[in-house]
Amino acid sequence: MSEFFSFPNPVNEKAARVVAGVVAVVALLALVTGWRWLLVPLAYGFVARALTGPTLSPLGRLAMGVVAPRLGAPKHVPGPPKRFAQAIGAVCTTLGAVFALVLDWTTAADALLVLMVVFATLESVFAFCAGCTAFAGLMRLGVIPRETCEACSDIWAPRARAET
């Protein structure tokens, strides 16, 4: 069962960027059209990826198995920070769905959608993962133990590479 709830390490950054690109487009579509129900599949995808990597995420499977291989050789990055980023996305999109569809707090839901657009675009276009940066900061503060990800204890250092 623990294998089922595992996350790949290392992660192909190209697949992560494809997923982020789709998230950015879907979140933008939800904002432009007012289709806040799109927060539900976004939340499902983030929860599925945070819990099982691409195993239960159709988008994750498509990105990893079909799209990323067509973009050339994989670029490996550490998995734990990416999982942390997926968990943050899960919290934000789940809250957004509850705000929009249960509480009718559309402004709060829209604010979370804007965050999704901004941070997913940064990941997709510029390979800047805000969740990964937060993960590294929490490691430096000692909140996340160093052994969680030796390869990423300092994301700015040249040694910050995925385990291969």
pLDDT tens track for 74-92? 999 999 999 999 999 999 9
Using DSSP, state whether 134 is helix, strand or coil. helix
pLDDT at residue 77, rounded to an integer: 94
* Structure confidence by residue, pLDDT tens digits, 7-27: 889 999 999 999 999 999 999
* Structure confidence by residue, pLDDT tens digits, 100-138: 999 999 999 999 999 999 999 999 999 999 999 999 999
pTM score: 0.89
At residue 157 the predicted structure's pLDDT band, cuts being 50, 70 and 90, is low
Using DSSP, state whether 78 is helix, strand or coil. coil
